[in-house]
Amino acid sequence: MQLEKNEQMNILFNFYSKLLTKKQREYMNLYYVEDLSLGEISEQYNVSRQAIYDNLKRSEEILLAYEKDLKLVKNMQDENKLANQLLEYVNANYSSDDELVNMVKRLNDLSNR
């Protein structure tokens, strides 16, 4: 469960980090990307572990709210899934059409970046 939450926060952070304050970005990066503990971050910034924890929780709520409203991550995941399905379909049914296969491969590559 914790691994799923970390993965979700990393994805949301990649999409919406610019919308957080500098301090929120720093704490989120250290905790979720660099995998530092609350204690390590609190020592680095000379603040309490509780202050770091509270800031992270607020930041998580903000990221979840952005995704709820904007749905950028969900839309990207849906596009990637559809692009993969399209590539499979074209390969299975139109593999002799080199131009179509190449176009769909390029589209798939763009979608899965």
Mean pLDDT for 107-113 is: 80
> What's the domain count of the chain?
2
Residues 45 and 7 in one domain: yes
Residues 45 and 18 in one domain: yes
Mean pLDDT for 81-109 is: 90
Residues 94 and 41 in one domain: no
Residues 13 and 51 in one domain: yes
Q: Is the pLDDT of residue 1 over 60?
A: no
Q: Is the pLDDT of residue 101 over 90?
A: no
DSSP-assigned states of every residue in the chain: -HHHHHHHHHHHHHHHGGGS-HHHHHHHIIIIIS---HHHHHHHHTS-HHHHHHHHHHHHHHHHHHHHHH-HHHHHHHHHHHHHHHHHHHHHH-TT-HHHHHHHHHHHHHHT-
Residues 99 and 86 in one domain: yes
Residues 58 and 83 in one domain: no
Domain carrying residue 80: 74-111
Condensed to tens digits (0 to 9), the pLDDT of residues 48-79 reads: 999 999 999 999 999 999 999 999 999 999 99
Q: Tell me what percent of the residues of the chain surpass a pLDDT of 70.
A: 99
Condensed to tens digits (0 to 9), the pLDDT of residues 73-84 reads: 999 999 989 988
